[in-house]
Structure 1
Amino acid sequence: MRERKKKGTKQMKNSYSITDLERFIVVAKSKTYVGGAQKLLPYRLASKDIQFADHEWSYHDSYFGDQDFIGQEVVYFHAEPVWAMNYYGYILDTELISSQEAGKMIMNSLTKLYAEGRFLGGFETSEDELRYDDSNEGDIRHFKGKERIFRNHIQVYELVYHGGLIK
Structure 2
Amino acid sequence: MQPDKTPIFDGAAIVGDDQKVRNGPNPDIEILARQRQATGCRAHFGREMSNELGELAAFLLEAKRRTYAGLDDEATVAVPMLAGSKQLDHRSGRYAYRDIYFGMGFFVGQETVSRDGKAIWSMCYSGGISPEISDRNTLLSIYTFLRKALLAGRVDSPYRGPETFDDGALSYRNSVEGTLVRFHGVEQISRDGATQYELRYNGGLIR
User: TM-score normalised by the shorter chain: which range applies?
Assistant: 0.7 to 0.9
Q: Does 1:73 align with 2:108?
A: no
If you compute each CA radius of gyration, which structure gives the higher value, 1 or 2? 1
Q: Which runs of 5+ in 1 are unaligned?
A: 1-6
1:36-57 deviation line (CA, Å, top 9, x unaligned): 1521111111010010001110
Structure-2 residue corresponding to 1:138: 178
Higher strand share: 1
CA contact (8 A) 1:122 1:136 kept: no
Q: Percent sequence identity over matched residues?
A: 29
C-alpha distance in 2 between matches for 1:127 and 1:144: 25
- TM (norm. structure 2) is 0.69
- Choose which of 83, 91, 102 in structure 1 pairs with 2:142: 102
Correspondence list, 1:12-161, <5 A: 17-36=52-71, 37-40=74-77, 41-92=79-130, 93-94=132-133, 98-114=138-154, 118-120=157-159, 123-161=163-201
Residues 10 and 106 of structure 1, relative CA distance in 2, 3 Å threshold: closer
C-alpha distance in 2 between matches for 1:27 and 1:38: 14
C-alpha distance in 1 between matches for 2:61 and 2:176: 16
Q: Which runs of 5+ in 2 are unaligned?
A: 1-44
1:111-130 deviation line (CA, Å, top 9, x unaligned): 1224x664246611111111
Q: Name the SS for the 1:35 alignment partner.
A: helix
Higher helix share: 2
Q: Name the SS for the 1:108 alignment partner.
A: helix
Runs of 4+ with deviation above 6 angstroms: none
Residues 10 and 48 of structure 1, relative CA distance in 2, 3 Å threshold: closer
Q: Name the SS for the 2:152 alignment partner.
A: helix
C-alpha distance in 2 between matches for 1:62 and 1:48: 6
One-letter amino acid matched to 2:53: I
1:121-147 deviation line (CA, Å, top 9, x unaligned): 661111111101111111111111111
C-alpha distance in 1 between matches for 2:110 and 2:82: 12
What is the aligned residue count?
156
Structure-1 residue corresponding to 2:39: none
